[in-house]
Structure 1
Amino acid sequence: MRRRSPWPRSLAGQAIALQILVIAVIVLAGSALAVYDARRDGDAAAEAQVLGIATTLADSPSTAEAIESGRATEILQPVTELVRNQTDIAFITIMAPDRTRYTHTDPAQIGGDYLGSIEPALQGRTFTEVYTGTLGPSVRAVAPVYDSERRVIGLVAAGILQQSLAQRWRSQLPVIAAIGVGALAISMLGVWGIRRRLLRQTRGLRPEELRVMYDHHDAILHSVSEGLIVLDGSGVAVVNDEARRLLSLPAGEVSPDELPEFLRSPNPGARDEVHVTDDRVLVVNRSRVRSGPDTSEVVTIRDRTELQGALGELTSLKVLTDSLRAQAHEAANKLHTIVTMVEMGRSEEAVGFATAELELSQQLVDRLSHAVGEPALVALLLGKSAQASERGIELTVTEESELPADTDELFLTAQELVTVAGNLIDNAMEACDPEDPWVEVTVHQNAQRLLIRVADSGEGMDESMFQNAMKRGYSTKPEAGEGRHGFGLALVAQVVRRHHGHLSADMTYGSVVTVTVPRP
């Protein structure tokens, strides 16, 4: 059976174990430093104490007078014992320059020689030292006693046993230990709170599991074919490579100001919204994500640019097909009429009836095929002409219309021509005056510029309405209906901006929208 490692497996457990280890080391080291500091402070305080006592007694005039009187032991022994008892030091010894003791804690030692260094004091200097005397190792200070002529006539030595010093700093150990235990307990309480938070945030996962999760997350973000953006309260949290490409975002961190306008305001729950940027048609979905008290938003973006162009061509062909189907039905009715007229013996009238409308239609086909070299645009114009005829709208392609026969010389591609002309014609047929419905189309390209102009009998748009229509997006939601005005004009504006052209609207002989594209 495999033995379980005592080391925690989760990230929270490992982080807490490391914190406990560090805290324990810090508390133990701090306690050791506190003990060392207490001992050092005790030694320094003891040294200062004995130095002060020795200096005070040596500088006292009564001490010099007692030595000079020859009654030093009799006068000074009671004084030194009183001072010693009040200051709780080990000994106070007053001696002659030849080391003979006048006073001592042990009266039996009076008259004997002082053990320790006195040479600096004989030279007039007060000093301290650690020395083992008759009472044991001690910290002592020695100060000279001067007569009126500043001659050294005696010495004062005061000392504290090191054993007493040890007892002093050892008495602080319970306090230091209590402080250390209290600090450790408070730290453990904080660590426990951190552990709970880490477990909640990491869901108890191990470090290798988090690493694998991050690697998978990063790989998915960079490999998905859709643009992905995560927005939170602080701004843009995540942007993948495809989103940077579709929105032309810079590398590195992205600020909310660098996002397109339709992503700067919150709109969670949006589904399949179509937005037009300067060079793309994008389908956007937005979803709200709740994680605890925080709320974020996931935005997915799909590129519909190429699909939109293909749909434009397909729409033009569908319009032409529907028109041909309607004309076939109408032709059947006309054929029955012609056959009946022949049976009635009115052959000449039947021929005239059959060829009149066919001649007009063929003239339009021949003129467009000759003047406009792009087949997709010819199909669009023919289809729109038939569609307008069915709706009772007079659609005219001006004699000025002309495109190069070589389609490679066109300033716009076939898809772009269909997008621009088709959307402008659709808008014009929707906007023209029902009382006098007419639409006029001009498509002309020379060596310097391409001109596409569509006029209608409608009321037109002022500058503010025109600018808003170019920016407005299009929604595929059921409630949005089939209205495509804003979306169509936005697509036209996109093509124009892509080729550094100009799009304008005015009211001259009608509502006129003009697209001008310069030579590449």
Structure 2
Amino acid sequence: MPSSRPNKTLAELQRWRRTRSRRRWYKRSFRLQVMLLVGLLLAGMLLAQGTYLNHRKAEIISSQMGERALAVAKTVASMPELIDAFDADDPASVIQPLAERVRRETGARYVVVGNNQSVRYSHPVPERIGLTMVGGDNARALEGGESYVSEATGTLGSAMRGKTPVRDEAGNIIGIVSVGFMLDRVAMDIARYNSLGWTLVALMIVLGFAGAYWLSQHLKRVILGLEPYEIARLAMEKEAILQSIHEGILAVNREGQITLVNQQARWFLGLADEHILLGQPIREVVPNSRLQEVLKYGQQEFDQQMWLGDHPVVVNRVPIIHEGEIEGAVATFRSRREIVDLSQALTQASRDVDMLRAQAHEFSNKLYTISGLLQLERIDEALTLIHQETKRAQAQMNFLMRHVADTVLSGTLMGKLTRARELGVMLEIDEQSSLGCPLTPTGQEVMMSVVGNLLDNACHAALHGPSDPPRVRLFFTDLGEQLLIEVEDNGPGVPTDHAESIFSEGFSTKAGQHQGLGLALVARLCRQHGGTVTLEDGELGGACFIAVLNRSLCAADTGTSSSVLS
């Protein structure tokens, strides 16, 4: 059953998503956003890269065509028969066939040879032989003797030309060779090569959008079909829950580093909110957390007692397991003091019920006795019993009214007197006892706990002591700057070797479970309210406990104090 709860919660969340009001899906769909963002980003990168690469490819092809034209021109210019032809009576008759043969073999659009006056000796169109070369880009070769690549428009159109001078054996420039490849052909070659590149870019864009769609589907499954705003809301809700619960929570990853800590855990550790804990090794922050052992062995531990900072706590430790692997561990802490306080409150309520039951039983017995005396017509004896009981109860009531200004404490003492009488213990309240000022609400709770626990322990000790009858004496006063409570009994006393540990939580000389809480609670209350509790030898032969509390537990003096002490 516990394992089905997360699936049920997830199903409820998904059902809520399907039935929620429709909104602008193209703005809210995480899957579409991821697909568009990743796809457009990838498309932009591919287009930019394709543009750059194709531009570089065009430059390289153009450069290669120019270098090819220049290489052909240099080859033609260095041919001996061509150089010798310049001295012939009709150079064109020798150079024209030679140039055309080279043009056909190299695939050039034209191979034009001219003299140092730019007059053609060869041309693909024979009618143009003997005319001046067109383009105006021969000066660098004829005047400077350079070999270079240029772009110019000639009689056949715009072309990329390789030009080089023709030199005789003495090194003199006697002519020029111009080899050209038409720019439209270069553009066609560039387009042919670039078309493959753009086809690959388009294919990669299509694959990129397909991958983006798959990625969006995968991410959607990973985040359990939730939209980003839903994840943000759940994260805020989780954070609010973690910080508001009353238990301290610590979580670590598989390396033992803290990944989560809430406010209550910080309070247990005594750390401020700005103190950085995330990422810290758990061994350095809480050496006794035992989360490393949970990570190592994967064993759950429940209701273990330990100290977290200065606080006794009850801790649960569980591993975080995903697909059979331990991914981390979580520890939750509950204050043991709060548990003790709750147990003490329940115990006190149970005691109050027992006292009321005992009081009802006692008065029921007396009423039966009076009823029997009346039925036997022994009226004088019945009246005497009534007067005795009234006198005793009135004496106790008058004493408490005169010496105790706080009605809650008076009621507590009346209940303890009745309970002690039911147990067969003589509970005496010293005649010098007095509480002249009412108590604050906190003071009432503290006094009830301190007086109640000390009297209960004293009655228990007296019942198991060697003396008969069992006796307990109570003294209290608010004279001076502090409240003083003294309780002694005629029980066996406290062994010397237990004197130091008797106020420790969990230590008890009584048999059974849930013992060792009363005196520890008394000691803690005394420390919290500016006092202390000590153990001495009593005049009755048993133990004597003296508790001291700060007078701030008393309310401001009123007319009640004077009426009580008068």
Q: TM-score interval w.r.t. the shorter chain?
A: 0.5 to 0.7
Identity percentage of aligned residues: 22
- The equivalent of 1:415 in structure 2 is 445
Structure 2 residue corresponding to 1:70, chosen from 46, 63, 87: 87
Contact 2:268 2:309 in 1 (8 A): no
- The equivalent of 1:325 in structure 2 is 360
Contact 1:502 1:515 in 2 (8 A): yes
Change (3 A) 1:134 1:483: same
State the Cα deviation string for residues 468-519 of structure 1 (Å, max 9, x = none).
549xxxxxxxxxxx965466567656645654x3556667666676654446
Pairing 1:38–2:70 present: no
In structure 2, give the amino acid aligned to 1:99.
S
Q: Whole-Å Cα distance in 2 between the matches of residues 278 and 334 of structure 1? A: 60
Q: Whole-Å Cα distance in 2 between the matches of residues 487 and 81 of structure 1? A: 118
Change (3 A) 1:126 1:314: same
In structure 2, give the amino acid aligned to 1:191.
A
Q: Whole-Å Cα distance in 2 between the matches of residues 38 and 226 of structure 1? A: 66
Structure 2 residue corresponding to 1:16, chosen from 15, 35, 43: 35
Pairing 1:375–2:407 present: yes
Question: How many residues are treated as equivalent by the alignment?
Answer: 491
Contact 2:76 2:82 in 1 (8 A): no
- The equivalent of 2:3 in structure 1 is none
- The equivalent of 1:137 in structure 2 is 158
Q: Equivalent residue of 1:98, what SS?
A: coil
- The equivalent of 1:161 in structure 2 is 182
In structure 2, give the amino acid aligned to 1:327.
E
Structure 1 residue corresponding to 2:437, chosen from 400, 403, 406: 406
Q: What is the Cα deviation at residue 462 of structure 1?
A: 7.1
Which shows bigger deviation, 246-255 or 86-95?
246-255
Q: Whole-Å Cα distance in 2 between the matches of residues 483 and 145 of structure 1? A: 119
Q: Whole-Å Cα distance in 1 between the matches of residues 517 and 64 of structure 2? A: 90
Change (3 A) 1:33 1:376: same
In structure 1, give the amino acid aligned to 2:87.
G
Structure 2 residue corresponding to 1:99, chosen from 115, 118, 121: 118
Change (3 A) 1:287 1:55: same
- The equivalent of 2:482 in structure 1 is 449
Q: What is the Cα deviation at residue 375 of structure 1?
A: 2.1
Q: What is the Cα deviation at residue 98 of structure 1?
A: 1.9
Which shows bigger deviation, 70-79 or 420-429?
70-79
Contact 2:152 2:159 in 1 (8 A): yes
- The equivalent of 2:556 in structure 1 is none
Which shows bigger deviation, 13-22 or 379-388?
13-22
Q: Equivalent residue of 1:171, what SS?
A: helix
Contact 2:315 2:332 in 1 (8 A): yes
- Equivalent positions of 1:277-426 (< 5 A) are 318=353, 320-329=355-364, 331-332=366-367, 366-393=398-425, 402-403=434-435, 405-407=436-438, 412-426=442-456
Contact 1:276 1:490 in 2 (8 A): no
Q: What is the Cα deviation at residue 12 of structure 1?
A: 2.7
Contact 2:526 2:533 in 1 (8 A): no
Q: Whole-Å Cα distance in 1 between the matches of residues 547 and 123 of structure 2? A: 120
Contact 1:12 1:204 in 2 (8 A): no
Q: TM-score, normalised by structure 1?
A: 0.63
Contact 1:276 1:491 in 2 (8 A): no
Structure 1 residue corresponding to 2:134, chosen from 115, 122, 134: 115
Q: Whole-Å Cα distance in 1 between the matches of residues 484 and 444 of structure 2? A: 15
Q: TM-score, normalised by structure 2?
A: 0.59
Change (3 A) 1:373 1:300: same
State the Cα deviation string for residues 430-460 of structure 1 (Å, max 9, x = none).
6778344776655444544344566673558
Contact 1:309 1:415 in 2 (8 A): no
Q: What is the Cα deviation at residue 14 of structure 1?
A: 4.7
Q: Whole-Å Cα distance in 1 between the matches of residues 120 and 175 of structure 2? A: 10
Q: What is the Cα deviation at residue 15 of structure 1?
A: 3.8
Q: What is the Cα deviation at residue 329 of structure 1?
A: 3.8
Contact 2:82 2:94 in 1 (8 A): no
Contact 1:504 1:514 in 2 (8 A): yes
Contact 2:359 2:419 in 1 (8 A): no
Q: Whole-Å Cα distance in 2 between the matches of residues 518 and 191 of structure 1? A: 72
Unaligned runs of 5+ in 2: 1-22, 553-566
Contact 1:281 1:308 in 2 (8 A): no
Change (3 A) 1:344 1:314: closer
Unaligned runs of 5+ in 1: 471-481
Q: Whole-Å Cα distance in 1 between the matches of residues 374 and 24 of structure 2? A: 101
- The equivalent of 2:6 in structure 1 is none
Q: Whole-Å Cα distance in 1 between the matches of residues 487 and 95 of structure 2? A: 128
- The equivalent of 2:11 in structure 1 is none
Contact 1:428 1:454 in 2 (8 A): yes
State the Cα deviation string for residues 77-105 of structure 1 (Å, max 9, x = none).
89877877787654554543321345656
Change (3 A) 1:372 1:236: farther
In structure 1, give the amino acid aligned to 2:444.
A
In structure 2, give the amino acid aligned to 1:379.
G
Q: What is the Cα deviation at residue 391 of structure 1?
A: 3.2
Q: Whole-Å Cα distance in 2 between the matches of residues 63 and 440 of structure 1? A: 142
Q: Equivalent residue of 1:132, what SS?
A: strand
In structure 2, give the amino acid aligned to 1:407.
P
- The equivalent of 2:564 in structure 1 is none
- The equivalent of 1:187 in structure 2 is 208
State the Cα deviation string for residues 148-171 of structure 1 (Å, max 9, x = none).
998655444444332332333333
Q: Whole-Å Cα distance in 2 between the matches of residues 306 and 464 of structure 1? A: 20
Which shows bigger deviation, 229-238 or 291-300?
291-300
Contact 1:323 1:387 in 2 (8 A): yes
Contact 1:432 1:438 in 2 (8 A): yes
Change (3 A) 1:76 1:497: farther
Q: CA RMSD in A?
A: 6.5
Contact 2:504 2:516 in 1 (8 A): no
Q: Whole-Å Cα distance in 1 between the matches of residues 476 and 287 of structure 2? A: 33
- Equivalent positions of 1:249-268 (< 5 A) are none
Q: What is the Cα deviation at residue 322 of structure 1?
A: 3.6
Greater RCO, CA 8 A, separation 6+: 1
Q: Equivalent residue of 2:233, what SS?
A: helix
